[in-house]
């Protein structure tokens, strides 16, 4: 079937597969994807070996596993690709800084900028929780790269060369109108857990904040019934094996100031054969529950062969704590025969029942499912995995470059009903919401060029025994074109620059026709005290021209400056949309969101979040890019002060 003109198959598939080598490698993997077996039984032909001492080696092992739909979190994949450079003796003056006049330069009300840094550090991957006893008290979490922009030194080395993605948190005591706090390290810095210097960065995990790991993140936050807040995240090294899941307990004093305690490490390991990924935390904050204030954490344990480094499986593991996160139970595999799993989400019902949802498959499955298990005894024993629905993992949002996933989000209502939402790929004209092999990018003969990503949801009214058929969260629609036409640049007089053969031919660049369907990604769910169910996600509502960089220095410097500009391409911009299942559907962002800013457009976080307080007000929390700040220090490199767009985390609150 011939592809529509507005759709580029190569660009559509690449963000999910992220195969950076020659196209022949992609063709080989695709040709083998029809094998309906999992790694342990695949026929081996001079099997490759992988250096699983590094993140990059583990990522390569997963990507090299034929037919596997599971990937690491986008955060881990991005960290595996992080490049270091050797800073020069003088500040860098950018030649070109990529931007678009269609994008905002500051976050506009009623949206609120949550992160407090001012030096153009990126933040992404949002988690949010509201104190069940105080709807004005909110805590958010995000991957925070603020240490990559610190202007201090450690024994003469720029802090920004030593920093990385860290575990960031922020809090509000006035319902999200304002947020606290920024870091303020001494100019001659000694790694510390002192909040006067590190602000509300989580202490004791990463090196510059008194910990032992190079990097951390993948935030998740939850309150107990007593007003304590708990942060779960990862700690890991990029070029050596040590990694862990970590939980910190936060306490508010009488003045409303939040202080984080030291981390408790879960499944801490130095084995190259194990990597912990994609954790999430939940707390039973329900008054009268038999397990009130018990803390639950689930995550993915990736397992590799010690000799070859080949991927073996990725089950979901689970622990709980009865003592405020000081200690946790022995980790337990709860995924049964769904050995190839990722992206778990624990949820606690009002009666204390614990549900865990994830994306995964059994050994012979051709498509993944959204799975669920439940425990009625506080996490001691578990039901067998139940497939809520089969689904088709999404390959990407057309006309973008950022990594995507189909991980579920879930919430439990006060009456015990449970809701789960996820992404699946469907046909443009005859959508099948229970998995469509024809829209599976990894199955040969697919027609993915005429498919798109939608957010769907399912509901259970009998404690997870049965589920409604998946239904779309939002109405279908087509992208709106904005900013066309534009004139392509003319050939660069420098032969190293963009020439007519590269698209710089001075022609008119018009909007795609048709514009293509709206696609959804990174769904979230919450239920208010009054029972209103809010489902949210990014929606690719708008397509606009974007001028790319034709050539420039490698990352990290190349994320700031471009040597030669290239032609315009089509670029999908997002809205963050919230639906009340009992009423309205509305975007809550004030400006379209351009995912091309930060990390070369390849990483825009892995998820979004939404939470509701006892006053029935929801707080949506997402990554935005409509803010301009001045960068000076970046990954150890000094720039002349330069205004850039970057990724920030933003809230929008309300009720419909």
225-234, pLDDT tens digit by residue? Answer: 999 999 999 9
Asked if 629 and 428 count as a contact pair (C-beta separation under 8 A), the reply is: no
Residue 505 CB-density burial (10 A; 0-12 exposed, 13-18 middle, 19+ buried): middle
260: domain CATH number is 2.120.10.10
The pLDDT of residue 394 is above 70: yes
In-domain check, residue 40? yes
The pLDDT of residue 47 is above 90: no
Compute how many other C-beta atoms are within 10 angstroms of the C-beta atom of residue 307. Answer: 8
Domain containing residue 528: 9-654
pLDDT cut 70: percent of the chain above it: 93
In-domain check, residue 115? yes
Q: Any bridge partners for residue 269, and if so which?
A: 243
- Which residue is listed with tokens 């009903």? 417
Least confident of 61-70, 190-199, 285-294, 387-396: 61-70
Residue 366, token pair as written in the block: 């051709």
Residue 281 CB-density burial (10 A; 0-12 exposed, 13-18 middle, 19+ buried): buried
Q: How confident is the model at residue 419, as a pLDDT? A: 99
For the chain, the domain total comes to: 1
Best CA proximity match to 289, nearest among 374, 345, 348, 249: 348
151-170, pLDDT tens digit by residue? Answer: 999 999 999 999 999 999 99
- Which residue is listed with tokens 């890019």? 625
In-domain check, residue 360? yes
DSSP state of 19: -
Number of C-alpha atoms within 13 angstroms, CB side, residue 431? 20
Compute the distance between CA of residue 365 and CA of residue 372 in angstroms, rounded to an integer. Answer: 16
Between β-strands 264-269 and 409-412, what pairing exists: parallel, antiparallel or unpaired? unpaired
pLDDT cut 90: percent of the chain above it: 90
Position 102 confidence tier, pLDDT thresholds 50, 70, 90 = very high
In-domain check, residue 4? no
With b meaning 16 or more CB within 10 Å and e meaning fewer, what string describes 163-185?
bbbbbbbbbbbebbeebbbbbeb
The pLDDT of residue 66 is above 50: yes
DSSP state of 600: G
In-domain check, residue 38? yes
Least confident of 37-41, 454-458, 612-616: 37-41
SS3 of 442-505: the string is CCCCCCHHHEEEEEEEEEECCCCCCCCCCEECCCCCECEECCCCEECCCCCCCCCCCCHHHCCC
Compute the distance between CA of residue 510 and CA of residue 506 in angstroms, rounded to an integer. Answer: 13
- The CA-based angle 195-198-202, given to 5 degrees, is 85
DSSP 248-308: EEEEE-TTS-EEE---EEEEEE--TTEEEEEEEEEE---TT-TTTT-EEEEEEEEEE-TTT
Q: How confident is the model at residue 279, as a pLDDT? A: 98
Cis peptide before 149 (omega within 30 of 0): no
Does the predicted model carry a pTM greater than 0.85?
yes
Q: How confident is the model at residue 84, as a pLDDT? A: 81
Based on C-alpha coordinates, what's the Rg of the chain?
23
The pLDDT of residue 60 is above 70: yes
State the average pLDDT over residues 113-129.
98
In-domain check, residue 2? no
Position 45 confidence tier, pLDDT thresholds 50, 70, 90 = low
The pLDDT of residue 27 is above 60: no
Compute the distance between CA of residue 333 and CA of residue 356 in angstroms, rounded to an integer. Answer: 12
475-526, pLDDT tens digit by residue? Answer: 999 999 999 999 999 999 999 999 999 999 999 999 999 999 999 999 999 9
Q: How confident is the model at residue 620, as a pLDDT? A: 98
In-domain check, residue 260? yes
State the average pLDDT over residues 599-619.
97
Residue 615 CB-density burial (10 A; 0-12 exposed, 13-18 middle, 19+ buried): middle
Compute the distance between CA of residue 629 and CA of residue 306 in angstroms, rounded to an integer. Answer: 46
The pLDDT of residue 12 is above 60: no
Compute the distance between CA of residue 387 and CA of residue 372 in angstroms, rounded to an integer. Answer: 6
State the average pLDDT over residues 385-402.
97
In-domain check, residue 3? no
């Amino acid at each position: 079937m011939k592809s529509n003109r507005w759709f580029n198959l190569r660009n559509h598939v690449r963000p999910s597969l992220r195969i950076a080598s020659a196209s022949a490698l992609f063709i080989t993997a695709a040709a083998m994807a029809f094998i309906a077996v999992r790694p342990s039984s695949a026929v081996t032909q001079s099997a490759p070996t992988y250096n699983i001492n590094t993140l990059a080696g583990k990522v390569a092992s997963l990507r090299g596993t034929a037919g596997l739909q599971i990937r690491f979190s986008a955060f881990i994949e991005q960290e595996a690709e992080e490049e270091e450079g050797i800073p020069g003796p003088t500040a860098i003056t950018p030649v070109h800084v990529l931007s678009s006049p269609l994008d905002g330069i500051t976050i506009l009300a009623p949206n609120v900028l949550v992160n407090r840094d001012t030096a153009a550090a990126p933040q992404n991957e949002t988690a949010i929780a509201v104190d069940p006893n105080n709807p004005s008290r909110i805590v958010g979490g995000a991957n925070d790269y603020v240490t990559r922009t610190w202007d201090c030194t450690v024994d003469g080395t720029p802090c920004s060369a030593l920093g990385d993605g860290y575990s960031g948190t922020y809090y509000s005591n006035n319902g999200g109108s304002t947020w606290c706090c920024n870091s303020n390290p001494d100019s001659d810095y000694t790694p510390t857990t002192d909040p006067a210097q590190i602000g509300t960065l989580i202490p004791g995990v990463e090196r510059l904040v008194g910990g032992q790991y190079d990097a951390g993140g993948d935030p998740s936050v939850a309150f107990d019934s007593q007003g304590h807040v708990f942060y779960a995240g990862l700690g890991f090294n990029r070029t050596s094996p040590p990694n862990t899941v970590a939980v910190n307990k936060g306490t508010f004093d009488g003045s409303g100031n939040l202080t984080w305690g030291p981390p408790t490490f879960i499944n801490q390991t130095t084995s190259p054969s194990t990597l912990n990924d994609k954790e999430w935390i939940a707390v039973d904050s329900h008054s009268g529950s038999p397990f009130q204030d018990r803390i639950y954490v689930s995550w993915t344990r990736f397992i590799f062969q010690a000799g070859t480094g080949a991927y073996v499986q990725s089950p979901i593991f689970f622990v709980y704590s009865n003592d405020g996160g000081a200690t946790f139970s022995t980790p337990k595999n709860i995924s049964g025969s769904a050995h190839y799993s990722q992206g778990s989400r624990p949820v606690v019902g009002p009666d204390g029942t614990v549900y865990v949802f994830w994306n995964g498959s059994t050994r012979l499955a051709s498509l993944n499912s959204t799975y669920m298990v439940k425990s009625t005894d506080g996490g001691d024993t578990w039901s067998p995995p139940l497939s809520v629905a089969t689904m088709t993992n999404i390959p990407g949002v057309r006309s973008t470059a950022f990594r995507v996933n189909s991980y579920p989000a879930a919430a439990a209502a006060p009456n015990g009903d449970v809701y789960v939402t996820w992404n699946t790929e469907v046909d443009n004209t005859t959508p099948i919401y229970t998995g469509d092999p024809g829209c599976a990018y990894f199955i040969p003969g697919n027609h993915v060029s005429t498919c798109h990503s939608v957010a769907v949801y399912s509901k259970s009214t009998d404690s997870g025994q049965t589920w409604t058929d998946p239904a779309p969260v939002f109405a279908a629609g087509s992208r709106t074109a904005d900013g066309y036409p534009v004139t392509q640049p003319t050939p660069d007089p420098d032969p190293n620059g963009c020439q007519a053969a590269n698209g710089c031919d001075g022609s008119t660049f018009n909007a795609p026709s048709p514009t293509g369907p709206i696609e959804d990604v990174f769904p979230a769910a919450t239920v208010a005290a009054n029972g209103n169910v809010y489902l949210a996600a990014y929606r690719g509502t708008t397509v606009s021209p974007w001028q790319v960089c034709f050539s420039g220095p490698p990352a990290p410097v190349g994320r700031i400056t471009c040597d030669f500009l290239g032609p315009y391409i089509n670029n999908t911009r997002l809205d963050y949309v919230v639906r009340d299942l009992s009423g309205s559907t509305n975007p809550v962002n004030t400006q379209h969101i351009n995912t091309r800013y930060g990390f070369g457009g390849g990483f825009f976080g892995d998820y979004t979040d939404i939470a509701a307080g006892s006053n029935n007000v929801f707080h949506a929390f997402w990554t935005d890019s409509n803010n301009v700040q001045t960068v000076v220090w970046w990954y150890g490199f000094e720039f002349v002060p330069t205004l850039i767009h970057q990724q920030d985390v933003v809230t929008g609150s309300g009720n419909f």
